[in-house]
A and B are shown apart, each in its own frame.
Chain A
Amino acid sequence: MENQIAISNVWVGVVVVAILFAISYTIGWWSSRMTASEDDFYAAGFKIGPITNGLGMAATWASLATFLGVIALIAKLQVPFVYLWIQWAISIPLLTLLYGTSLRRMKAYTPAVFIRARYGKGATLTIVCWMILIMIMYALGQMIGLGQAFEMLFGIPYNLALVISGVATIGYITLGGMYGASYNAAFQMVIMTIAMIVPMGAIMKSMGSSGWWFPPLAYGDMVPAMLQVLPTFFDMKYDFRWYFALIPAFTLGPVALPHLAMRVFTSSSVKNARWAVVWFVLFLGLLFSGTYTSGFAGNFFVATTGQAIAKADQTLLILNVFYNPVWVAAFVMGGALAAGLSTIGGNLMAISGLVGNDLLSILAPKMEGKTRMKWGFAALGIGGVIALLLAFNPPKFLVTSILWAFGLLATTATPGILLGVWWKEANKLALIISANICGVLFICISPYVLPNFVVGKGLSAALGMSGGMVTVPLSFTLFILLSIIFNRIPALSSYAPALEDKKVIDRIHGWGNYDENRYNSITWPIVLAIICVGISIWGLQPWS
């Protein structure tokens, strides 16, 4: 197809982007006036209400991939990728249930605040370093996507597009702190939902669907035509293990994503955090269902018109250029930009919290809160600049591995957080050893480092599903068994949980007193460890 890349009238794109950034900067500036303390900067003063927070959670979670990458991957993998995407929606409900409200009760800024209170400085340094690495990878992916979106909108070279989009983005996020990130994310979620759903209705109408009035769920009448031209579209294709492997890597990984947890922590109360989750599922479901429709429509378009889409990432834009006026196509790209901006906002706030609050409180414990907040601002900007610089000539390993990084997070951070909240025996040294050994193992058995030493093959290995099915349960097992052993070795008594560490657990669960017997079973963790060993062995079996 001709003109697949850029929108024909550049000025329409300029106007859309200018309006989007003008609103974002205004919200950032307005928010900056409310930022007077660390509570304000890192947690929006713990004042965000359920609906705004639900919108913010959905926007932070839904990245540029929702508009670009997913649709391309649906084109490649078809329905199994839809199933993979559906399960993202349980990430924030699950983290809220398992530890989000407990950490909100202790007024944590990031999950690492809890790690420090529970495990001390050594373990915090370990987990924070893994989290920062993953946040940089995540922000890098978004930065590249933003550059590409600007390239498509204006037809300018990628590097120039990257500088313009990167600097503009870092600027408004740094301006507003968490208040700005929260209110901007809520605004951006509205934009991206409209941009995904409404133009898709017009596209479906042009394609002959009678369900154009509700694109997310009403395109069933296109199915017979789709099956005629693409009979394999609805095939589930993989065996049960492939679907099970979504859990260790893609369900348990996002549970520990600091930028998602931080959205829960900004809630105006523990109870409101739970209601925010309800709104999150509603808003995210609407947007994601629109994405599945776009993936369906992209496949339908290629199959029925015979026109190949050279760059599958651009499917949504191409459908809009083909069926809708140019200003609609530009608005859709504005929606994609909004998705990228809100996610980068969350990523940079997480980097800021991890560096400005968590690392500095270890390295410079006597530093005053206001000074730490200034360093938080600096870390936010520097994190953005690093991601921007990496995006000029991105290491291939990082670009192809954003989803893979979830498995790394599930391996290194999730066991420490979940067992730390629910198990008093969890040992500091056991956490450091299990997180580092299994984290390095996850990297080594991926296709990116040692091509001859890979667990799984093809897409399962590239996405970290097969690797995660081995290392995530292994990390839980190692952590549990080492904790039990280390706690009983007198020479390692300094790493065993002290009474103060254990009291943290009772307090964040809402108990008024301390009881040694609570959250202190040995039997159930051992049962869990045995189950995990079984899952690891299952993951090691040859992948078809």
Chain B
Amino acid sequence: MKEQLYKREVWITIIFTCLLMLFGHFASIFVLFPGLKGGTMWGFPVEYIVPILMGWFGLMVVCIAMALVCNKFDDDMEAFAKSQGQEVMSDKSKGSV
């Protein structure tokens, strides 16, 4: 369980880092694959409007998923620590380390 939680934490971090990078730098996709250019959406060239939408609503969806997944992970971590009789550093802990 301990090992699984650790791996989960690392994978969550890697996956969300990649997603944030992808959505924030979506214009690079159109540079890498120029064939995707040429279409229009709402009157704009896709290579203009899609990076704006991805950097706003797309990123928001990623952040919502991040909040849900990471908060669930924190709960699992705290539950595991409690099951082991361990104390964890939480919002209620006094002072810094």
Instruction: List residues of A whose CB falls within 8 A of some B CB.
Output: 46, 79, 82-83, 86-87, 89-90, 93-94, 97-98, 101, 105-108, 113, 117, 217-224, 234, 236, 238-240, 243-244, 246-247, 251, 268-271, 274-275, 277-278, 281-282, 285-286, 288-289, 292, 504, 507-513, 515, 518
Contact = CB atoms under 8 A, between A and B. Distances in A.
Interface in B45-97: 45, 47-49, 51-53, 55-57, 59-60, 62-64, 66-67, 70-71, 74, 77-78, 80-81, 84, 86-91, 93, 95-97
A146 B41 CA distance: 38
B69 to A, nearest CB: 9
Given A94-B17, A246-B25, A87 B55 contact: yes
A90 B23 contact: yes
Interface of A (DSSP majority class): helix
Given A46-B91, A113-B96, A285-B59, 19 more contacts: A79-B48, A87-B25, A87-B55, A90-B20, A93-B66, A97-B66, A108-B96, A217-B53, A220-B42, A234-B48, A243-B25, A268-B91, A270-B91, A274-B71, A281-B59, A282-B60, A507-B88, A511-B81, A512-B88
Contacts of B43: 219-224
A89 B70 contact: no
Contacts of B97: 106, 117, 504, 507-508
Nearest to B45: A234
Identify which of B17, B31, B47, B84 gathers the most chain A CB atoms within 10 Å of its CB.
B31
B59 A90 contact: yes
Nearest to B75: A271
A222 B48 CA distance: 14
Contacts of B71: 271, 274
Given A89-B59, A278-B67, A240 B32 contact: yes
B55 A86 contact: yes
Nearest to B28: A243
Contacts of A234: 45, 47-48
A198 B81 CA distance: 51
Given A236-B27, A247-B21, A220 B56 contact: no
A244 B29 CA distance: 11
A217 B44 CA distance: 9
A286 B90 CA distance: 33
Contacts of B86: 511-513
Interface string B4-46: 0010010001001100110111111011100001001111110
Nearest to B22: A90
A456 B91 CA distance: 46
A107 B25 CA distance: 32
Given A79-B48, A221-B43, A289 B56 contact: yes
5 contacts: A87-B24, A97-B20, A274-B66, A285-B57, A509-B9
B91 A105 contact: yes
B24 A511 contact: no
Contacts of B91: 46, 105, 268-270
A274 B60 contact: no
Contacts of B48: 79, 82, 234
B11 to A, nearest CB: 13
B34 to A, nearest CB: 9
A240 B70 contact: no
Nearest to B90: A105
B94 to A, nearest CB: 8
Contacts of B20: 90, 93-94, 97
Contact of B17 (A98, A106, A217, A518): A98
B60 to A, nearest CB: 5
A500 to B, nearest CB: 9
Nearest to A83: B27
B50 to A, nearest CB: 11
Contact of A93 (B52, B62, B74): B62
Given A89-B56, A90-B21, A223-B43, A510 B27 contact: no
Contacts of B52: 82, 86, 217, 289, 292
B21 A510 contact: no
Contacts of A504: 97
B96 A107 contact: yes
